[in-house]
A and B are shown apart, each in its own frame.
Chain A
């Protein structure tokens, strides 16, 4: 199975059968969104899933999935997904669910209910609530050992302030540990996924920026990719061709404030900010460019006289040091310079890729995106 989260999947590879994965999130981040997203990926790849929920009604799981734009009902009606309610019994309330553990205080009852259904992967939402209920950790670990013999286990865990020893013994008992934590940046708080342990593969430490988009689900997410460049280079067309949805504030075809687009490409999601090109707007460039994670510089390949302005915009937007890719746009013009010539004339560092594009026809945009995402992954 795979998690459906790009970069993570690329680096940790296929998750083997019969392993236990701990998905641990810092307080304030709901692990269920991540669990549900991984489950949705598994279901789409024809794995059968079981989802045990003990800390909220089963309907809350379906609701969370639907806010993420995922529809679980068709899997449920085709017996590809079983949601087991271990919450109602714990709360002593009535349940209309098909699969209910009447008395979840006994682990055996949970295991018996699981035996009645079939699955390749089982999700436990949540392991931390289970520990809280039992007030000890051993029984959870035994349950996971038992389940692991039959299927792959994904346990969701809210990392409240448990004793260090408890956390250590939990983590020791899992084949893989994935942590999702908030990271405070200049102004915003981003979420990153940090693999702490991958039992089946040697990995170097890395972090994946993630966001739960509603709708959209879990994506590798970059909050700001800047598209800049001289006047009339085709920045708005580039933003449009990169984006799934876009809005432009323009007058007579010239951007006067900001183009804002949203891109979703091969598992990468990003908000795209397209700046105006005219110098009159430079004062607001500094706001728009601040905290960008990457820059796409768009130039008109037929107007090398604008390249000085292009480089000036890179320094005004403080782009140096960030990943930069260049769109050598308007390749359809008779006098357009080749990408190699644009690169030479711009005189940017050798590792900055220059991609030939015709943005209005979406030509070359995919290569541009591949170069960009490749750099964002580093």
Chain B
């Protein structure tokens, strides 16, 4: 039987087949790494902690603005685009793509994966 982590990893592997995606991870909203498919030189535990912090901070800003919940957080970095999307109550999906990635396609793919990830995690 496939374990939860294996199932999550196979969801992330599907993302790896999408052009311009360089790495992805399922991170707990508390910052702990649940599953990752990242380049070897990336400090995954730190990326997890910081992605969760970023998500938490934006969520707090959204609540302060009184404008509803967040759909995703996109950070445009010099050599990458970093996107974080909620995946249920407990987790977020984080994707790093090259700057020339098609954002629309990326979002569609991420939303597809998020559906499955939510099911696997169960909350």
Question: Chain A: residues with CB nearer than 8 A to chain B?
Answer: 28, 182, 184, 186-189, 223-224, 247, 249, 257-258, 260, 262, 271, 273, 283-284, 287-291
Min distance, Cβ A180 to any Cβ of chain B, angstroms: 14
Give the complex CA separation of A287 and B50 in angstroms: 11
Give the complex CA separation of A249 and B4 in angstroms: 32
Q: Quick one: CB contact mask for B69-95 with A, threshold 8 Å, 1 for yes?
A: 000000000000000000000110000
Min distance, Cβ B92 to any Cβ of chain A, angstroms: 10
Q: Are A258 and B5 interface neighbours, CB within 8 A?
A: no
Min distance, Cβ B5 to any Cβ of chain A, angstroms: 6
Say yes or no for B49: interface residue by CB 8 A criterion: yes
Chain A to chain B: the 5 pairs with minimum beta-carbon distance, closest first: A290-B30, A187-B28, A284-B56, A287-B56, A283-B60
Q: Of B45, B50, B60, which one neighbours A258 at CB under 8 angstroms?
A: B50
- Beyond the given pairs A260-B49, A283-B56, 7 more chain A to chain B contacts, judged by CB atoms under 8 angstroms and listed by A's residue number, are A187-B28, A187-B91, A188-B28, A257-B57, A260-B45, A260-B46, A262-B46
Question: Given A260-B46, A271-B49, A287 and B31 touching (CB < 8 A)?
Answer: yes
Min distance, Cβ A160 to any Cβ of chain B, angstroms: 12
Interface residues of B in 7-42 (CB under 8 A from A): 28-34
Say yes or no for B53: interface residue by CB 8 A criterion: yes
Question: Chain B: residues with CB nearer than 8 A to chain A?
Answer: 3-6, 28-34, 45-46, 49-50, 52-57, 59-60, 63, 90-91, 121
Min distance, Cβ A90 to any Cβ of chain B, angstroms: 27
The residue in chain A whose Cβ has the minimal distance to the Cβ of B5 is A189
Per DSSP, chain B at the interface is: helix
15 A-B pairs within 8 Å (CB atoms) are namely: A187-B28, A187-B30, A187-B32, A187-B91, A188-B32, A223-B32, A224-B32, A257-B54, A271-B45, A273-B49, A283-B56, A283-B60, A284-B60, A287-B29, A287-B56
Give the complex CA separation of A249 and B49 in angstroms: 12
Q: Are A284 and B4 interface neighbours, CB within 8 A?
A: no
Q: Are B4 and A291 interface neighbours, CB within 8 A?
A: no
Of residues A28, A249, A262, A287, which shows the largest number of chain B Cβ atoms within 10 Å of its Cβ? Answer: A287
Q: Are A284 and B49 interface neighbours, CB within 8 A?
A: no
Q: Are A182 and B32 interface neighbours, CB within 8 A?
A: no
Give the complex CA separation of A182 and B63 in angstroms: 37
Min distance, Cβ A318 to any Cβ of chain B, angstroms: 11
The residue in chain B whose Cβ has the minimal distance to the Cβ of A214 is B40
Give the complex CA separation of A224 and B59 in angstroms: 22
